Structure 1
Amino acid sequence: MDLLKILVLNTNDESLLDVLAVANTLHNKSGPFACALILGDVKKCSDALTNFQMELPTYIGNGSELSDGNISHSRDLNENLTVLNGFGFIKLANGLKIGYLAETSKLSDSARAEVLKNFQELSEQTSADILLSYDWSEAISERENLILGNSLVDQVASLMKPKYHFTGKNEKQFFELDPFVWDHTNEHICRFINVAQFKSGSKWAYAFKINLLEGLETIPDNLIDNPYLEKPSGKRDLVPDPETDNSSAVSKKQRKPKQVLPSECRFCLSNTKLNDHMIISISKFSYITIAKGPLTTPGNDMDFSGHCLIIPIEHIPKLNTAKQEAVITDTDLFKDLNKFEESIAEMNFKRYDMSTLIFEINSSNAIHFHKQLIPVPKYLIGNFISALNRQVHMNNEKFKSNAKLEFKEFEGFDDKEYLGLVNDHETNYFQFIIRETASSKPKVYISVFDKDERIDLQFGRRVAAFLLKQPKRTMWDSKVCFQTKQQEEKDVSNFQRAYKNFDFTLK
């Protein structure tokens, strides 16, 4: 089958007729297109459109309101004009499969469960080539530090696994996420795209070609991790509860943590696919590597990024595990990690006159515990509390589904209250450590959360990015943070050269 050429545009009530006319023009000049898909907050698809002649099949999403009050009631206005109301799924004569989902935040739990149930049943039979949604997915919205997401979109997208997912809720800005793979078995790739609105000054029309056959797409070089798999396991899903007779009931069971074996873990030395070219130094109980997609960049006298990870050799999700009997600060692993931490902080201060920020997540639902260390100029480290408070406010007030964070400050690791928290294997917590100089007592900031609560896995990096005034480098897998293997090898070599006189494993 030949590639299908599709046109996607974003409009509103006022400019709908103008955009439909543009679609006809583009079809004649740049087409032919198999169909046009209209995004945007279009509420009034009135009968006046019945006589509007479209020269290609055109499908209009109704945006944030359900026409006729129906949750799913799409209708043909004429031979080439169809309104996609609420939610649903259509398969065109050419084989193109389109799923669609209007704004759903005002729906009751029972109505949301009905939507999800329908897509669950569909997903058992087919997938979607294209998904249209009024809202962004929550995972991608939070990944980009935006407030445009709806968790139901995440669930529908994960079920239908579209090749293209279009939305237009961010009316002012065009956005295209780097592609990711739904299923590594057949390399099923997805692209998420927000098309800006007509007359916004940003890209409001998007044309592309799609192949309906599986397995024929070239795998792009800029693949990122599936953002839906990165979502914390504490998120509660609106799934009908099979144990009740009430069809509107929703499950309160949390998703089980993903189980990853050491042979598959990207931090385990036993994994044959480990990026061992990134390793800086190995000790008896832990090792250090440079960070993939580092937040910091070389500058001044430091000819490497300085962003590194300290990783236990043992495959453990957290330090305070149930099998740990001794006081955590007395364990061999803690002492080993702390030696790396202290020696790197000493290097940062003595060689480069920089402080060191360390952050970690201790969670029962994690895969392999690690600490991240970032060099911070001394003139910026005093702004850490402001950066932390700002991100806590964002987390607690704007992302209501996240665990509410409240950090306590401690001097060093010997405070009784602090030890009571970290020694309890039931405790899950975020932790930041500030090592201002090579000899100053570390300042520790800790916030506990329940293992069933949703957490932002990028919280620590968001704080550090704001502190360092590097908003574009917040996400490790963004284009601006990408390093080639050759660049990573150079970073390791330069780090090792600078660290040589501080590395306790060489003494």
Structure 2
Amino acid sequence: MGDDESKILVFNPNPDYLDKVLAKANSQNAKLGPFAATILMGDVLPSDKPLPQTELLESTYFAKGLNGINSEVEAKASESSSTLVDVAENLTYVKPPYSIIKLVSGITMLIVSGELSKDSLDKIVQTKAKIDLLFTFRWPTVLSFIESVSEAGNETIDSLVKLIKPKYHFAVGKNEGGVYREVEPFKWPSGEITRFISLAQEGSADKWFYAFSISDKQDEVASFMENPFLRKKRSIENKGSENKAATKKAKVVTPDQCFFCLSNPKTETHMIVSIGSQAYLTVAKGPLTRSNKDLSFSGHGIIIPIQHVANVNDRDGAIRQEINKFQQTLVKAFAKQKPFLKLIFFELNRHNNVHHNVQFLPVYEPELDKFSQSLEYRRDTNNEKFKRNQKLEFVEFTNEDDSKLEAIEKENDYIKFTISISEEESKIYIAKLTKGEPVDIQFPSSTTKIQRNGRS
């Protein structure tokens, strides 16, 4: 490796296990380094997490995510006039809104911290710096449409990428830990080549770290995708729908490959709580919530049919009956042991699912009042902003045995939320889905952001 090359290491750590990730960074530096820089993506040190204890071997940078920042870090940042704040030896915080960092090799990084404003875009342009590496939380919207992860995008990031044309752009995209994608390189009319990589969070089943070498020379690339930033918006939206439909048509997931099937040899059985005759209960591997003083585990769980089925519409069938039994047992258990926590159950019941499942989250009782507002906001965003998605209209029920509710469940694909206020009282919100029309599969999880740890 020549003097003009730099090795870079990128992680998307789970903030609950940050020291574990930093230990891995040290291990990678010892084995494969030294790395010129290690970048920690996503919500690295949110407001409710303590500083890590691991001593780092090489320079490591992190920024503010979407869930606040550790109070000690914030205090140090407020006292510093620099955009870079040393939190510990080799651990540096990038103050909002961004910092431009030039490495010894000449490689230049732009790390965005928190949300990026249009005013910041102007200031970045005025620096006239040639940016090689870009790190953001959100994706560009053009890529979010193409990859069918619409909620990951932010139009300001589109403008930034078009302005600086980085060699590499890293992001995480989604509030719930991140999503892994690595798209084909694309080329700009002026000759620059950009690669885009989004990382999932540590602890998920997808790729959450990335190591590579970069030089100040122009890369040699055998093939390119059409530059998505040069397409018209409508063609991008249509392309995203086409890609999604083609993927679903081509990909057949068998039980031995299915993430939810017990017959899959990679099933992580240590996470399973209970197995019935028709369904089983497990804690979520990439939880939307976190443990705290009131609950020793995340509280995010999934009820999954043992049979490899896409949907469950028959109320009287054995699978649905056992799913309901699991739900009732969970409600009773929380009512007895954690009465201040209430459960929200949600499911996306579709004929073309890979494997049906019902998920649940505990929330503090006062937070339940916020759910209808969250649902209304997400519905309006889906219906007005994401034109490629089918329109959603929710109907509210207070009786699980209502014949109109049963008719909707029996004959349709649907999105359903059940708010368990008590063992006897619940609210149900359900929206019919038109078969064959695209739907945001992350809609249920993104709506349930009135989480029991107070995050929204």
Give the secondary-structure state (helix, strand or coil) at the position aligned to 1:437. Answer: coil
TM-score (norm 1): 0.48
Instruction: Tell me whether 1:377 sits opposite 2:451 in the alignment.
Output: no
Give the secondary-structure state (helix, strand or coil) at the position aligned to 1:387. Answer: helix
The match for 1:357 is 344
How do residues 324-403 of structure 1 correspond to structure 2 at under 5 angstroms?
328-353=314-339, 354-403=341-390
Instruction: Tell me whether 1:418 sits opposite 2:405 in the alignment.
Output: yes
Instruction: Tell me whether 1:276 sits opposite 2:265 in the alignment.
Output: no
Alpha-carbon distance change, 163 to 455 in structure 1, aligned in 2, over 3 angstroms: farther
Distance (Å, rounded) in 1 between the aligned partners of 2:107 and 2:247: 44
Percent identity over the alignment is 30
| 1:470 shift after superposition | 5.1
Alpha-carbon distance change, 209 to 333 in structure 1, aligned in 2, over 3 angstroms: same
Distance (Å, rounded) in 2 between the aligned partners of 1:444 and 1:385: 11
- Work out the number of aligned pairs and report it: 293
| 1:179 shift after superposition | 6.1
Give the secondary-structure state (helix, strand or coil) at the position aligned to 1:432. Answer: strand
Give the secondary-structure state (helix, strand or coil) at the position aligned to 1:443. Answer: strand
Which one has a bigger Cα radius of gyration? 1
Corresponding letter in the other structure for 1:400 = K
8 Å CA contact retained: 2:141, 2:153: no
Distance (Å, rounded) in 2 between the aligned partners of 1:298 and 1:348: 15
Corresponding letter in the other structure for 2:286 = G
| 1:342 shift after superposition | 0.3
Distance (Å, rounded) in 2 between the aligned partners of 1:6 and 1:300: 40
Instruction: Tell me whether 1:310 sits opposite 2:384 in the alignment.
Output: no
8 Å CA contact retained: 2:275, 2:281: yes
Distance (Å, rounded) in 1 between the aligned partners of 2:302 and 2:244: 33
Alpha-carbon distance change, 407 to 191 in structure 1, aligned in 2, over 3 angstroms: same
Distance (Å, rounded) in 2 between the aligned partners of 1:140 and 1:317: 20
Which residue, 251, 256, 266 being the options, matches 1:263? 256
Distance (Å, rounded) in 1 between the aligned partners of 2:179 and 2:167: 13
How do residues 464-503 of structure 1 correspond to structure 2 at under 5 angstroms?
464-466=448-450, 468=452, 471=455
The match for 1:242 is none
Which residue, 429, 434, 446 being the options, matches 1:450? 434
Structure 2 unaligned residues grouped into runs of 5+: 9-100, 111-119, 133-138, 185-194, 200-211, 222-235
| 1:331 shift after superposition | 1.0
Which residue, 417, 421, 425 being the options, matches 1:432? 417
Distance (Å, rounded) in 2 between the aligned partners of 1:445 and 1:178: 27
Instruction: Tell me whether 1:30 sits opposite 2:104 in the alignment.
Output: yes
8 Å CA contact retained: 1:296, 1:374: yes
Structure 1 unaligned residues grouped into runs of 5+: 8-25, 46-53, 61-131, 154-161, 171-175, 184-188, 194-207, 215-234, 240-249, 321-327, 473-507
| 1:449 shift after superposition | 1.7
Corresponding letter in the other structure for 2:323 = L
Corresponding letter in the other structure for 2:343 = T
Give the secondary-structure state (helix, strand or coil) at the position aligned to 1:465. Answer: coil
Corresponding letter in the other structure for 1:295 = L
Instruction: Tell me whether 1:297 sits opposite 2:282 in the alignment.
Output: no
How do residues 62-73 of structure 1 correspond to structure 2 at under 5 angstroms?
none
| 1:135 shift after superposition | 5.0
Task: List 4+ stretches of structure 1 deviating above 4 A.
Answer: 1-7, 132-136, 147-150, 176-183, 211-214, 250-253, 467-472
| 1:33 shift after superposition | 5.7
Give the secondary-structure state (helix, strand or coil) at the position aligned to 2:315. Answer: helix
| 1:265 shift after superposition | 0.4
Corresponding letter in the other structure for 1:361 = L
Give RMSD over aligned pairs. Answer: 4.6
| 1:293 shift after superposition | 2.1
8 Å CA contact retained: 2:144, 2:153: no
Alpha-carbon distance change, 142 to 417 in structure 1, aligned in 2, over 3 angstroms: same
8 Å CA contact retained: 1:329, 1:413: no
Distance (Å, rounded) in 2 between the aligned partners of 1:359 and 1:433: 6
Give the secondary-structure state (helix, strand or coil) at the position aligned to 1:268. Answer: coil
| 1:31 shift after superposition | 3.7
| 1:317 shift after superposition | 1.1
| 1:333 shift after superposition | 0.9
Alpha-carbon distance change, 179 to 287 in structure 1, aligned in 2, over 3 angstroms: closer
Alpha-carbon distance change, 259 to 470 in structure 1, aligned in 2, over 3 angstroms: farther
Instruction: Tell me whether 1:191 sits opposite 2:172 in the alignment.
Output: no
Alpha-carbon distance change, 455 to 470 in structure 1, aligned in 2, over 3 angstroms: farther
8 Å CA contact retained: 1:387, 1:467: no
Corresponding letter in the other structure for 1:419 = E
Which residue, 205, 210, 213 being the options, matches 2:214? 210
Any idea what the Cα deviations from partners look like across 1:367-409, whole Å, max 9, x if unmatched? 1000011112222213221121121122222222222111001
Any idea what the Cα deviations from partners look like across 1:193-248, whole Å, max 9, x if unmatched? 9xxxxxxxxxxxxxx8438799xxxxxxxxxxxxxxxxxxxx97449xxxxxxxxx
| 1:365 shift after superposition | 2.3
Instruction: Tell me whether 1:144 sits opposite 2:152 in the alignment.
Output: yes
Distance (Å, rounded) in 1 between the aligned partners of 2:179 and 2:402: 45
| 1:165 shift after superposition | 3.8
Distance (Å, rounded) in 2 between the aligned partners of 1:356 and 1:397: 29
Alpha-carbon distance change, 31 to 447 in structure 1, aligned in 2, over 3 angstroms: same
